[in-house]
Amino acid sequence: MPSLLLRNVPIQILARIACLSPSITKSASFAVLVLVRLRDSLCFFVFLFYLTSCQQGERQASKDAVIQKFTEADAELVVDEFLKSKGAARRMETALIPQSKDYRLAFEGAAATKAWAAYLQLFRRGAPQIRPQGGETEVLIWSATTEELRRGEGDSLAFPLGYRRIAPYFQRGLRWYAFRFVRPGNQEGSSFDGLVYLGDHWALFPQPWRLLKHSRKRP
């Protein structure tokens, strides 16, 4: 590690460095002390950077472990995680935050850049809460491809109306999901949308029509 290399710098070399400048010759001992402390500080910051990098890697690995066990056929299993417990819901909320590369996988052209900037601001406040309300123990789920959303076909009619307007900004070939937590026997409840499978993992872009309403359609 770099910190070990810094700590192995001999005191004699530090003293020589301190004495190179005539302006500090009379206070060489003080300069040596300063340099030793500087060396130790550098060791500390190098170690802190290394530790932080390891922790970030562990968090990403943990997130990947949560989300990558679900395949494209597991949309209902992904949503069911929110019904299990608050802990399971929080883990899934975090796991579904899009990666940087996901925006171009989900959106076309300039819309990808705009979506990235808008969602970056949103996710800085933390992952959006996807939680059922009291008594909502069941889930209804709908799916529609980008092409169905553009044409208003199939289950696309169950999506918020804004999807029809922004569907031209979605990449072709994707299947999007909307879902609702309901009480047994009810059709109304807590609604969510923007769940999509991006080749090898799931991501969530909640209410994209609110963030892309001023985007230009690609010619």
Domain co-membership, 53 together with 104: no
Q: CA separation (Å) from 5 to 2, 18, 41, 42, 73?
A: 5, 19, 13, 11, 51
Residue with tokens 């990947």: 64
Domain co-membership, 123 together with 86: yes
Domain co-membership, 80 together with 183: yes
Domain co-membership, 119 together with 162: yes
Contact by Cβ (8 Å): 192, 180:
yes
**Average pLDDT, integer, range 112-136:** 93
Q: Above 80 in pLDDT, residue 136?
A: yes
Whole-angstrom Cα distance, residue 80 to residue 142? 14
* pLDDT score, position 160: 94
* Residue 219 placed within a domain: no
* 104-118: pLDDT as tens digits: 999 999 999 999 999
Q: Name the pTM for this structure.
A: 0.67
* pLDDT score, position 68: 54
* 51-107: pLDDT as tens digits: 334 344 444 444 444 445 667 789 999 999 999 999 999 999 999 999 999 999 999
* Residue 177 placed within a domain: yes
Residue 44 sits in which domain range? Answer: 2-65
Contacts of 138 (CB under 8 A, 6+ apart): 181, 182, 183, 184
* Residue 183 placed within a domain: yes
Overall domain count for the chain: 2
* pLDDT score, position 41: 53
**Average pLDDT, integer, range 140-169:** 95
* Farthest CA pair distance, the chain: 87
* Residue 216 placed within a domain: no
Burial 116-134 (b: 16+ CB within 10 A, else e): bebbeebeeeebbebebee
Contact by Cβ (8 Å): 169, 113:
no
* 12-35: pLDDT as tens digits: 544 454 444 444 444 545 444 443
* Residue 90 placed within a domain: yes
What band does 39 get if pLDDT is binned at 50, 70 and 90? low
* 167-218: pLDDT as tens digits: 999 999 999 999 999 999 999 999 999 999 998 899 999 999 998 865 544 4
Domain co-membership, 131 together with 94: yes
Domain co-membership, 15 together with 89: no
